[in-house]
Amino acid sequence: MTDAASAPQPAAPSRAFVSLIGAGPGDPGLLTLRGAEALRQADVVLFDYLANPELLRFCPQAQTIYVGKKGFSEYISQEQINALIVTKAQEGGGQRVARLKGGDVFVFGRGGEEAEACAEAGVPFEIVPGVTSAVAAPAYAGIPVTHREAARSFAVLTGNTKEGGAHYERLSGVDTLVLLMGVRNLDQIAAELIQAGRAPETPAATVQWGTTPQQRVATGTLATIAHRVREAGLEAPAVTVVGEVVRLRETLRWFDHAEHAAPDFGGPLAGRRVAVTRTRDGASGLSDVLRARGASVLEVPLIRFAETGDEAALHARLRDLAGVGWLLLTSNQAVTALFTQLERLGLDARHLAGVRLAAVGPSTARSLAERGLRADFVPATPGARHLGAELPARPGEVTLHLTSQLAEDELERALVTRGLRYERAELYRTEPAQPGEHALARLRGADVVTLASGSAARHLAALAGTDFVVAAMGPQTADAAREAGFTRVTVAQGASLEALADAAAQAVAAAARPT
Ligand code: SAH
């Protein structure tokens, strides 16, 4: 580091920097604090098949690139990934690249090769170790890899013969073996371990999708585990633990054990894939509620917010609010954008002292409250329709709707019918997000898709068709969804995130019932 104050800088230093981050085994709570921080700072994020995409909520600002080899239409080789990391870091005046990898960076993650590529190209980098599935998947299955009585050492090995090959005799003194990438060859590996001297009756367990709501476990012995895994239909990604410690699962089982799991764990959303289609910054609250009910959340933003197209016009409208009786705010984003714009005008909340504020529902009202403003009116039933019908304004009064270019006419019609004057200003823009192929594939695999707005419904239909089970935020969103062609629509019976999660649960249950 140079002291910027004392030395004149010839050129701006390049921002190029690569963080190789271990994303942890799947449970998003197992990302490290340092990993989250590096994601927040990233300009570009390259993520893997095994890195939970929910973690992308830490980097709503970043360009995201899926480089997983699984399910990717074109095969991306490791060499291409190495090159991409370096290119992205060097682009422009240099960028901060976060390379998010499942588990730990250096445990069979080829992180070493990626770090070498950075070193060779002279791109500075850091390693953010992650929680490896080799330890965490057994732990979530109630199996400690070491234990004072049962095991004093453990080894992690690959079952992928290309990656290592079998030298099992050398492992004869190791108490616990943890096998990664070995489900497919489990028969052969177990046989070779027995041949190398391990007792056929040694306890063994295979954990698929460990630490996630889809975690499944099969247990047996070295002699039977391959058969048990086939019987249970377990596939990759899975780790197999071999050793006396596996017996401890009988007493230590916790995560995949209904009695000990979170209260809602056995509910209709347990293990279900729920797609959340709000913008990334707006999604996390709903995702948390869904996750608490055991759902596996896929965040696939279908819309994104952008700056208004005519800031000069907006500023002119906002600067002088004389004559305006009511400001109508019909989304959280409106509140956020309003304050951004006030700040740009060199103003603050005091500028709104002379107008009354109407919020479309409790959530928007809460956004105002967070900025120290109490809404003067919130309709008892949230929604533009109710706001328009019930706003306590006198005929002739001017209402100013600060909204996106996509605002529907419902509110205007209701107010004009009542003899009120309606003005609209474009405060922000709602634009379709362009999810990549990978995100769309995950969306298609969802058990239910939650929709928070009519524009999300229309955009989903345009992008991926209407063959989805959907849960809609409210009656207007539901109407828009039906108009867009969706037939399996469940409406939330209230304006809360809990109500939307309930609707998702009902939708899943209804879809599961034979018709
Ligand atoms: N760097 C990773 C391992 C990458 S190799 C880590 O430290 O965890 C990929 C293998 O990891 C998979 O084939 C599987 O054996 C294992 N794996 C990764 N995530 C897993 C999970 N959630 N549950 C079970 N096995 C997992």
- Residues 384, 364: contact at Cβ < 8 Å? no
Q: What contacts 173, CB < 8 A, 6 or more positions away?
A: 153
Q: Which two tokens stand for residue 334?
A: 């409106």
CA distance 42 to 396: 51
Rounded to the nearest angstrom, the distance between the alpha carbon of 174 and the centre of ligand 1 is: 21
Q: How confident is the model at residue 66 (pLDDT cuts 50, 70, 90)?
A: confident
Verify that 352 and 478 share a domain, yes or no: yes
Rounded to the nearest angstrom, the distance between the alpha carbon of 179 and the centre of ligand 1 is: 9
CA distance 349 to 146: 58
pLDDT at residue number 77? 86
Q: Would residue 3 count as lying in a domain? A: no
pLDDT digits (tens, 9 = 90+) for 78-115: 999 999 999 999 999 899 999 999 999 999 989 999 99
Q: How confident is the model at residue 391 (pLDDT cuts 50, 70, 90)?
A: very high
pLDDT at residue number 73? 44
Provide the 8-state DSSP code for 238: E
Selected catalytic residue, list 69, 187, 310, 467 = 69
Angle between helix 454-464 and helix 475-484 axes, rounded to 10 deg: 20
Q: Would residue 4 count as lying in a domain? A: no
Question: Which whole number is the average pLDDT over 36-48?
Answer: 94
CA distance 415 to 399: 9
Residue 266: phi and psi, rounded to 5, are: -90, 5
SS3 321: coil
Verify that 322 and 438 share a domain, yes or no: yes
Question: Which whole number is the average pLDDT over 319-333?
Answer: 94
pLDDT at residue number 122? 96
Task: Name the least confident of 156-160, 289-293, 334-338.
Answer: 289-293
Q: Provide the domain limits for residue 227.
A: 135-252
Q: Would residue 10 count as lying in a domain? A: no
pLDDT at residue number 113? 96
Q: pTM score, two decimals? A: 0.62
pLDDT at residue number 38? 97
User: Active-site residue 101, yes or no?
Assistant: no
pLDDT at 252 over 60: yes
pLDDT at 225 over 60: yes
Task: Please report, rounded to a whole number, the percentage of residues in the chain having pLDDT higher than 70.
Answer: 92
pLDDT at residue number 283? 56
| Ligand 1 site, residue 30, Cβ cutoff 6 A | no
Q: Which residue has the higher pLDDT, 476 or 267?
A: 476
End position of a domain, from candidates 212, 233, 252: 252
Q: Which residue has the higher pLDDT, 438 or 371?
A: 371
Verify that 337 and 484 share a domain, yes or no: yes
pLDDT at residue number 159? 87
End position of a domain, from candidates 109, 130, 151: 130
Q: Which of 345, 343, 337 is nearest to 304 (CA)?
A: 337
Q: How confident is the model at residue 488 (pLDDT cuts 50, 70, 90)?
A: very high
| Ligand 1 site, residue 68, Cβ cutoff 6 A | no
pLDDT at residue number 71? 47
pLDDT at residue number 98? 97
Verify that 95 and 226 share a domain, yes or no: no
| Ligand 1 site, residue 186, Cβ cutoff 6 A | no
Domain of 67, CATH number, reads: 3.40.1010.10
Strand order in the sheet with 17-22: 63-66, 44-47, 96-101, 17-22, 125-128
Burial of 79 (0-12, 13-18, 19+ CB in 10 A): exposed
- Residues 359, 375: contact at Cβ < 8 Å? yes
End position of a domain, from candidates 104, 130, 156: 130
| 439 Cα distance to chain centroid | 11
pLDDT at residue number 382? 77
Verify that 64 and 156 share a domain, yes or no: no
CA distance 464 to 70: 21
Domain of 230, CATH number, reads: 3.30.950.10
Q: How confident is the model at residue 21 (pLDDT cuts 50, 70, 90)?
A: very high
pLDDT at residue number 3? 54
The neighbouring-strand residues paired with 470 are 449, 489
Selected catalytic residue, list 43, 48, 256, 502 = 48
Verify that 160 and 61 share a domain, yes or no: no
Q: Would residue 35 count as lying in a domain? A: yes
Verify that 384 and 408 share a domain, yes or no: yes
Q: Which of 320, 310, 179 is nearest to 246 (CA)?
A: 179
H-helix or E-strand spanning residue 66: strand 63-66
- Residues 347, 315: contact at Cβ < 8 Å? no
Question: Which whole number is the average pLDDT over 48-71?
Answer: 81
Domain count across the chain? 3
Task: Name the least confident of 139-143, 210-214, 462-466.
Answer: 210-214
* Best of 114, 133, 178, 240 for a ligand 1 pocket test (most atoms within 8 Å of beta carbon): 133
Q: Which two tokens stand for residue 38?
A: 């590096």
Rounded to the nearest angstrom, the distance between the alpha carbon of 208 and the centre of ligand 1 is: 9
Q: What contacts 252, CB < 8 A, 6 or more positions away?
A: 142, 143, 144
Give Cα separations from 264 to 142, 271, 275, 312 (angstroms).
20, 11, 19, 50
Rounded to the nearest angstrom, the distance between the alpha carbon of 102 and the centre of ligand 1 is: 7
Q: Would residue 214 count as lying in a domain? A: yes
Q: Would residue 8 count as lying in a domain? A: no
Question: Which whole number is the average pLDDT over 171-192?
Answer: 93
Domain of 458, CATH number, reads: 3.40.50.10090
Q: How confident is the model at residue 495 (pLDDT cuts 50, 70, 90)?
A: confident
Verify that 186 and 234 share a domain, yes or no: yes
Verify that 421 and 312 share a domain, yes or no: yes
pLDDT at residue number 170? 84
Burial code of 5-16, b = ≥16 C-beta within 10 A, e = fewer? eeeeeeeeeeeb
Rounded to the nearest angstrom, the distance between the alpha carbon of 340 and the centre of ligand 1 is: 43
Residue identifier of the C-alpha nearest atom 11 of ligand 1: 180
Verify that 182 and 110 share a domain, yes or no: no
pLDDT at residue number 51? 86
Q: How confident is the model at residue 514 (pLDDT cuts 50, 70, 90)?
A: low
Q: How confident is the model at residue 161 (pLDDT cuts 50, 70, 90)?
A: low
Query: Which atom of ligand 1 is nearest to 210's Cα?
Result: 23
Q: How confident is the model at residue 462 (pLDDT cuts 50, 70, 90)?
A: very high
Rounded to the nearest angstrom, the distance between the alpha carbon of 48 and the centre of ligand 1 is: 11
pLDDT digits (tens, 9 = 90+) for 400-425: 999 999 887 889 999 999 999 999 99
Q: Would residue 2 count as lying in a domain? A: no
CA distance 22 to 415: 54
Task: Give the position of tokens 């600060």.
Answer: 402
Verify that 65 and 87 share a domain, yes or no: yes
Q: Which residue has the higher pLDDT, 435 or 259?
A: 435
User: Active-site residue 162, yes or no?
Assistant: no
Q: Would residue 9 count as lying in a domain? A: no
pLDDT at residue number 260? 40
SS3 86: helix
SS3 130: coil
Average pLDDT, the chain: 89
* Best of 50, 177, 214 for a ligand 1 pocket test (most atoms within 8 Å of beta carbon): 50
- Residues 241, 189: contact at Cβ < 8 Å? no
Query: Which atom of ligand 1 is nearest to 133's Cα?
Result: 8
- Residues 281, 215: contact at Cβ < 8 Å? no
Verify that 291 and 398 share a domain, yes or no: yes
Query: Which atom of ligand 1 is nearest to 104's Cα?
Result: 7
| Ligand 1 site, residue 210, Cβ cutoff 6 A | yes
CA distance 345 to 319: 8
| 281 Cα distance to chain centroid | 10
